Amino acid sequence: MAYSLEGPDWLRKCLAPQSFKVFSLIGVFFAIGDILEMQSMSAMDGAVYQVLGQSKLIVTAITLWAVKGHNQTALEWVVLALIVASMSTFVLEDHNNSTRSEASYYVSQPQESLFSKLLGIGYVMFKVTISCLCAVLADKYMKQFSDVPFYIQMAQYKIAWFTTCVALAYALDWEGELTQFGFFHGWTWSTLLVTISFTIKGWCTMYLLRSLDSVLKNIGEALAVIAVYLCSILLWGKAFDSAAFLSMSSVVLAVVTYTLVVRLETKNKRLMYMLVEIQDDVPFVSAPAPSGDKR
């Protein structure tokens, strides 16, 4: 895309030092987040991962409070606490269901399953922390380098992003399968579809960070949790659990509530700033002094 739109000068623009060193570093952290996402997906169900992924709101709120001193309102902290409680309920319910289904044929399986889930939760939380940091940096520098076209920015991201992913894939290949059979060994049509979907998702996410409202992005990702859960039932035959579905719905509604509260607080602050500016621009006219009585 960069070559077709920029012509022979595309490589020089992609490797422009001032922006390349910034976006390539962010791309490295994005790649680490992708590896952690794959590790967590191998340790838990996709719907559970999507629910735990909503903890990015909590991590972002704490980061803003610690780094920038941007405190949350009392209502926002209450909704964040509700999100934590809802996610904890969902994870415990999911673990209890899996424990009941597995305890009938192997006694030690629930303990191993619990360790696997805790490991997966650790992967998710680490991934969420990195993603929040990358999102803040990407939002800042994509707007700061707004003179650089979007596709050039994406190329600068992906050069380091792809290189880091390949390097980590070989570094984590303990059994040497990549060296022995090649990088594309074991790829199927489903693997190709997942790759295409991740590519589309990555481009859409970065475009939202550059151009649109992050509040709408968070609402869309929250609603996608229910879609993932329903797809796991319709396409992969997962049994429907009403308690888990209600717990998941409470997480989604809490996330939507939080994002709408944040938007309302932002609008109120902007309105107050506008009123202050209007008040400062209005000239002060003193009242005329009362005239003395004429006799």
Give the pLDDT of residue 238: 74
Give the pLDDT of residue 105: 44
The answer to whether 63 touches 132, Cβ cutoff 8 Å, is yes
Give the pLDDT of residue 108: 46
In the chain, pLDDT over 70 holds for what percent of residues? Answer: 69
Instruction: Quote the CA–CA distance of 44 and 33 in Å, as a whole number.
Output: 16
Q: How confident is the model at residue 164 (pLDDT cuts 50, 70, 90)?
A: very high
Assigned token pair, 243? 């308690």
**Mean pLDDT of all residues belonging to the chain:** 74
CA 295 to chain centre: 81
Q: Is the model's pLDDT at 289 over the cut of 60?
A: no
Give the pLDDT of residue 106: 43
The answer to whether 223 touches 207, Cβ cutoff 8 Å, is no
Give the pLDDT of residue 85: 75
Give the pLDDT of residue 133: 79
Give the pLDDT of residue 63: 67
Instruction: Quote the CA–CA distance of 173 and 165 in Å, as a whole number.
Output: 12
Each residue's pLDDT tens digit, 176-189:
788 888 878 788 88
Q: What is the mean pLDDT of residues 79-90?
A: 74
Q: Kindly report which listed range (61-65, 103-107, 160-164) carries the lowest average pLDDT score.
A: 103-107
Q: How confident is the model at residue 96 (pLDDT cuts 50, 70, 90)?
A: low
Each residue's pLDDT tens digit, 7-57:
677 777 778 888 888 889 988 998 998 888 888 877 776 667 766 776 777
Question: In whole angstroms, how far apart are CA 183 and each of 28, 178, 232?
Answer: 20, 5, 29
- Helix ranges restricted to H, the chain: 2-6, 10-14, 17-41, 46-53, 56-67, 74-102, 109-144, 150-171, 177-181, 189-211, 214-234, 242-281
User: Quick one: residue 7, left, alpha or beta (phi over 0 = left, psi -120 to 50 = alpha)?
Assistant: left
Q: What is the mean pLDDT of residues 160-180?
A: 85
Give the pLDDT of residue 91: 67
Give the pLDDT of residue 28: 92
